[in-house]
Amino acid sequence: MGTRFELVLANDRDEHELRSAGESALEVIRDWHDRLSIFDRGSLVSRINREAHEKPVRIDRDMLDLFSACERWRAMTDGAFDIAVGSLMEHFGFRDTGATENVPPFGMDLVEIDADAMTVRFTEPGVKLDFGAVAKGWAIDRALDVLREEGVTSALLHGGTSTVGVIGSDRDGEPWRVRIEDDEHAPVALLRDASLSVSAPSGRLNERQEGHVIDPREGKPSAGARLAAVIAVYSAETDALSTALVVLGERPGSIPGDVVSILPAQGSTPGGWAAAGDAAGRVIVSDSGSDQEGQHAS
Amino acid sequence: MNNRREFLVKTAGGLAAAAVLPELGFVKLPDPRAGLRVGVIGAGRQGRSILGELTKIEGAEVTAVCDVDDRRMEAGLRRSAGAEGFADVAAMLASGKVDAVAIAVPTHAHPEVARQCIEAGVHVFLDGPLANTVEGCNEIVTAARSAKGVVASGLQGRSNPVYKLARTFYRSDSVRDLVALRAQQNQKTSWRTPASDPARDKALNWRLDPEVTTGLAGEWGTQQFDVFNWYTERYPVKVSGSGSIRLHKDGRTVHDTIACTLTYEDGAVLQYQATLANSYEGAYEVLYGTNAAIKLGWSHGWMFKESDAPTQGWEVYANRQQFHNDEGITLIADATKLASQGKLKEGIGLPNPSLYYALGDFVACATTGETPACVVEEAARATAIGIAAHKAITTGTEQSIDL
């Protein structure tokens, strides 16, 4: 997935037991990297991108679950989240292949998932999947599952600092505190058995200084929010929805109330933030220097 | 080495073979419609890797997953598209749902499971070392001689495209006379699978059980010893070594760090080391010759020429990588073609792990009836070397290797 994952295990348990549990969790992340990486020619996704227009490509139950979840988030965000934007990422010069001249076909409307036959097929040549907006979160969820199975009750795992999932509380019994931006006035997420993702187009820019978050509805780099953060139970959900919120620029009514979103406040002073959803006790938003939990919850 | 001169005479211009080897890429069976139904026995980490690689191979369909551990079986089934789960090997074989099996159970269980499968008449792929004892190896070799199907070993070097290409160089005059051999495998990992109760712990952590394990020399070394056996077509005759616990002081008695010296009849030496305490440079094998050294890193291969070695022309077009003071020529098939396509980047390697090519070879042979890249007789020899090395390390006494 082209990024670094770090794991903190804070349990009061035998160090050797924790090490082996941590190794198993990181092994799961490597395994998902091997399947989802678009940079690895041998990955399943690379194979799908290479062959799925010519013939249906087999997938396993794990992958079917991932496709199903992605389709749920696509529907929830009215198409602002879409994994079939790989061709656009290339077109706009966000991949090593370099920018392409003509706008290629894109979007999940051109992808057929056959849940009975367990296959995926593209209806047009040139379509490409790119799980970059959800892969880290999905892998973190599966790794945290392994840690829970092994009895770990306190852990923090992040991928590239943009998505973090935690088990339980920190070693002092307090929620894990994660600031959403490298700015002392930025909101702080309070995580207990929860996840946080932050998306920002400026994380990577192409030669035209366009951000790497694609608006799948328009087929071009997003002109929405400069940053979006989401807190929810699962990392895959926060990963996908934070990307969608960057595209949308505002929170749609279709997102469930237990999902907390944090966006730059419209019309407020620079540095203002608006948290929405059941934010009480889950985020500290500070505009004036005095922190207040869930100050902007709505 | 004696046979190599003869080989050179028979393969004049052998280096040109590099340009005509099949393109590296993806396994395609002669008849993908054949649909070999494969059952995977053992759904631990390696079993799940096998499941993942089988999914990529056209013509192979995973129809069954077998594991005595419920959690592992479920994890294995999730890596398949509609396979049936079995807790018992006999029940899986009796179901009529498999034409072939890939066995990824603990090494000490290989003989019994392999015998059952061979007797059932299915094609058998046996992962890793053949067994944990010489007697176990012999049992499998004997059973394989009367097998109706293909019996393939999962020692992966022999089916790895980079290794096959590099071997053509080794068998030509590029390396010339063998000077020495060296290999290592370094990974920083505990080798321990988390387990909540003692019974499960014993079952899952068999590699740390001194009663059944062959340690790092057997579990890891065997794969690498086979590479040297295959390249040199010779076998070491004695081994000495030592081991210790450098990092994982968790009550284990099985060494986490070992080193051993394997000696050939003419005095040539293979130095091997492995550790669970440091990951520097990972796994590789080096064959030092009087004209060049070949370094093999599973997904990559390089040749380092001596300054007085004759120039053979093709090097001019080769991709190169700098290693401190040495320049390595990247050994990859179709290098010229890939360069013309702009795909030849520094250090380009295989698109798939070695396991994929070993399984692809097995599936192809099971479909066509051809002989697999690594037959069990060769696997038995490599395994016996690993067992002897483990014994030398644990007892501190030199062991003769009688193959």
Give me the residue spans of the domains in chain A.
Answer: 44-131, 135-293
Q: Do B79 and A27 touch (CB under 8 A)?
A: no
Model pLDDT, residue A219: 83
The yes-or-no verdict on residue B286 having pLDDT over 80 is yes
Residues of A in contact with B79 (CB under 8 A): 60-62
Model pLDDT, residue B11: 30
What six digits make up the tokens of B209? 């059980």
| B79 CB within 8 Å of a chain A CB | yes
Rounded to 10°, the helix B376-395/B222-232 angle is 120
Distance (Å, whole) CA A19 – CA A25: 10
What chain B holds in terms of domains, given with CATH numbers, is: 2-22+158-351+382-400 (3.30.360.10), 32-156+369-373 (3.40.50.720)
Q: How confident is residue B21, by pLDDT bands cut at 50, 70 and 90?
A: very low
- What is the per-residue pLDDT across B384-402, written as a single tens digit (0 to 9) for each? 999 999 999 999 999 999 9
Name the CATH code of domain A135-293 (choices 3.30.70.100, 3.40.1160.10, 3.10.520.10, 3.60.150.10).
Answer: 3.10.520.10
Distance (Å, whole) CA A249 – CA A261: 11
Q: Residue B304: which residues within 8 A CB-CB, separation 6 or more?
A: B292, B293, B294, B295, B323, B326, B327, B328, B329
Q: Is A114 left (phi over 0), alpha (psi -120 to 50) or beta?
A: beta
At A195 the three-state DSSP class reads strand
Model pLDDT, residue B342: 56
Model pLDDT, residue A268: 53
- What is the per-residue pLDDT across B236-264, written as a single tens digit (0 to 9) for each? 999 999 999 999 999 999 999 999 999 99
Nearest chain B alpha carbon to A40:
B351
**CA dihedral for A239, A241, A246, A250, sign (positive or negative):** negative
Which residue matches tokens 């934010």?
A279
For residue B23, CA distances in Å to B20, B159, B224, B390 come to 8, 14, 25, 38
Give yes or no on whether A44-131 and A135-293 have one common fold: no
B339 vs B303, residue with greater confidence: B303
Q: How confident is residue B345, by pLDDT bands cut at 50, 70 and 90?
A: low
Model pLDDT, residue A270: 61
Mutate to test the interface with B, among A7, A19, A32, A46 (most CBs of B within 10 A): A19
Mutate to test the interface with B, among A16, A33, A68, A119 (most CBs of B within 10 A): A16
Q: Residue B307: which residues within 8 A CB-CB, separation 6 or more?
A: none
Q: Determine whether B349 is exposed, middle or buried from the number of CB atoms within 10 Å of its CB (0-12, 13-18, 19+).
A: middle
The yes-or-no verdict on residue B311 having pLDDT over 90 is no
At A42 the three-state DSSP class reads coil
Mean pLDDT of chain B: 89
Question: Do B175 and B293 form a contact (C-beta atoms < 8 A)?
Answer: yes
Q: What pairing do the DSSP bridges indicate for beta strands B100-103 and B60-66? A: unpaired
- What is the per-residue pLDDT across B110-139, written as a single tens digit (0 to 9) for each? 999 999 999 999 999 999 999 999 999 999
Model pLDDT, residue A12: 75
Model pLDDT, residue B304: 96
Angle at B246 between CA B241 and CA B249, to 5 degrees: 120
ipTM: 0.86
* For residues B278-286, average pLDDT: 97
CA distance A99 to chain B (A): 15
Q: What pairing do the DSSP bridges indicate for beta strands B100-103 and B123-126? A: parallel
Model pLDDT, residue B12: 29
Distance (Å, whole) CA B154 – CA B360: 11
Model pLDDT, residue A95: 77
Q: What pairing do the DSSP bridges indicate for beta strands B178-186 and B238-244? A: unpaired
Residues of A in contact with B351 (CB under 8 A): 40-42
Distance (Å, whole) CA A232 – CA A241: 10
Q: How many CA atoms lie within 13 A of A298 on its CB side?
A: 11
CB B403: neighbour CB atoms within 10 A? 14
Alpha helices, H only, B80-204? 89-94, 110-119, 134-145, 161-170, 198-204
CA A199 to chain centre: 8
Which residues of A have a CB under 8 Å from any CB of B? Answer: 14, 16-17, 19-21, 23-24, 27, 31, 34-35, 40-42, 44, 47, 58-62, 118, 149-151
Identify the segments of chain A with pLDDT beneath 70. Answer: 98-99, 267-271, 287-298
Q: Do A150 and B194 touch (CB under 8 A)?
A: yes
Homologous superfamily of domain range A44-131: ApbE-like superfamily (1.10.3980.10)
Distance (Å, whole) CA B33 – CA B27: 14
| B190 CB within 8 Å of a chain A CB | yes
Q: How confident is residue B340, by pLDDT bands cut at 50, 70 and 90?
A: low
B183 vs A97, residue with greater confidence: B183
Angle at A45 between CA A42 and CA A46, to 5 degrees: 50
- What is the per-residue pLDDT across B70-117, written as a single tens digit (0 to 9) for each? 989 999 999 999 899 999 999 999 999 999 999 999 999 999 999 999
Q: Where are the beta strands (DSSP E) in A127-239?
A: 155-159, 163-167, 176-179, 188-191, 195-199, 214-215, 220-221, 228-232
CA distance A48 to chain B (A): 10
At A235 the three-state DSSP class reads helix
Question: Do A199 and A246 form a contact (C-beta atoms < 8 A)?
Answer: yes
Question: Do B212 and A42 form a contact (C-beta atoms < 8 A)?
Answer: no
List residues bridging with A177 in a β-sheet: A190
Question: Which of B207, B223, B53 lies closest to B130, judged by CA?
Answer: B223
CB B393: neighbour CB atoms within 10 A? 25
Question: Which of A254, A258, A253, A260 lies closest to A294, judged by CA?
Answer: A260
Question: Do B190 and B248 form a contact (C-beta atoms < 8 A)?
Answer: yes
Among the residue ranges A96-110, B16-30, B48-62, B381-395, the one predicted with the least confidence is B16-30
